[in-house]
Structure 1
């Protein structure tokens, strides 16, 4: 699933291809992908332009010249695609905008878990969906305040979008590996220094992932993503990586490196 670094890349892509162009048509092959009616989307988007993009966690907000902000959630397999010829429309480009310059913008969405919505403002959407500040912008003070009110496993907490918007499953595993914290460690039993180490690891993982365009193969050799598989070998200890379930999510960790 696209997480913060991947969505950051999508933001950069849209910024470089699709801003300041008049939209002349919208085609949607599956109305379930639109949170409002197709006609309402047409009213708010056709004859308007994308002005700018903003990201909070896994959500991408596109400000338009209309009164509404387009909200894009990429689900499991969503991604943007900008192209010239209608014949180049991707197989799973279920939503397509056409621009006056002859180019098109498709929302690829193979498994159809992604969606589009329209909102009055980014701040309203953030409040309604209980999103924290984006994890990249989150302060240590706010992180500690959010975490201190919880009494469950640290992995569950850092994946909570009201705590650290943008952190998903692979990022949570990597953050805890980098900070040497066991994924089932209860937060109310952690020291302030341990919580700060998780925060620092979160910032490190985000920046490394963005710097490398979320291409895991380019991450530093001591990153879990290179051996995030049951039975693989921990970079630091040589012990086998284990797999468990935490909060219903498949979780990989090194039992020797991340001792409970």
Structure 2
């Protein structure tokens, strides 16, 4: 599933390909992918331009020259695709914008978990959907405050989008591995130093992933992503990586490195 670094890459891609071109048509093969009626997207996007982007966690907001802001969520397999010829429309490009320069913007969405929405205000949308400030911009003070009175596992907490918008499953595993914190450690049992270590690890993982365009093979050798599977070998201890469920999600960790 695209998480913060992947969606950041989509933002950069859209910024470099799809802005400041007039939208001449809107096509959607499956209206279940739209949070508003198809007619609303036609009304508010046709003859307008995409003028800029803003990302909050896994949500991408595309400002327009009109009165509405386009909201994209990429679900499990969503991604943008900018192409020229009509015949090059990707197989799973269920939503397509056409621009006045003859190029197209496709929203690829193989498993159809991604979607589009429209909003009047990014900040109002953030609050309505209970999103924190983007995890990349999150301050230590905000992070600490969001953990107050929490009584569950740290992994479940840092995947909560109201705590750290953009952090998903693989990032949470990586953050806790870098912080040497067991995923089942309860927040109420964590010292202030532990919380600061998790916060610092979160910032490190975000920046490393963005720096390498979320290409996992390019991550530093001590990153869990290189051996994030059951029975693999921990970089630090040589012990086996274990798998379990935390908050209903598959979780990979090194018991000797991340002691409970």
TM-score category of the 2 structures, normalised to the smaller one: over 0.9
Deviations 1:75-107 (A, max 9, x none): 000000000101111000000000000000000
What residue number does 2:137 align with? 137
Aligned equivalents of 2:86, 2:35: Cα separation in 1: 25
Deviations 1:35-84 (A, max 9, x none): 11111100000000001000000000000011110000000000000001
What residue number does 2:65 align with? 65
Report the Cα offset of residue 187 of structure 1: 0.3
Deviations 1:23-46 (A, max 9, x none): 000110100001111111000000
Runs of 5+ unmatched residues, structure 2: none
Aligned residues between the structures: 260
What residue number does 1:34 align with? 34
RMSD: 0.4
- Give the alignment's TM-score, normalised by structure 1: 1.00
Aligned equivalents of 1:225, 1:216: Cα separation in 2: 7
Aligned equivalents of 1:197, 1:248: Cα separation in 2: 25
What residue number does 1:216 align with? 216
Aligned equivalents of 1:204, 1:240: Cα separation in 2: 24
What residue number does 2:148 align with? 148
Aligned equivalents of 1:149, 1:104: Cα separation in 2: 49
Report the Cα offset of residue 149 of structure 1: 2.5
What residue number does 1:225 align with? 225
What residue number does 2:11 align with? 11
Runs of 4+ in 1 over 2 A off after TM superposition: none
- Give the alignment's TM-score, normalised by structure 2: 1.00
What residue number does 1:205 align with? 205
What residue number does 2:239 align with? 239
Aligned equivalents of 1:255, 1:163: Cα separation in 2: 25
Report the Cα offset of residue 7 of structure 1: 0.1
SS at match of 1:26: strand
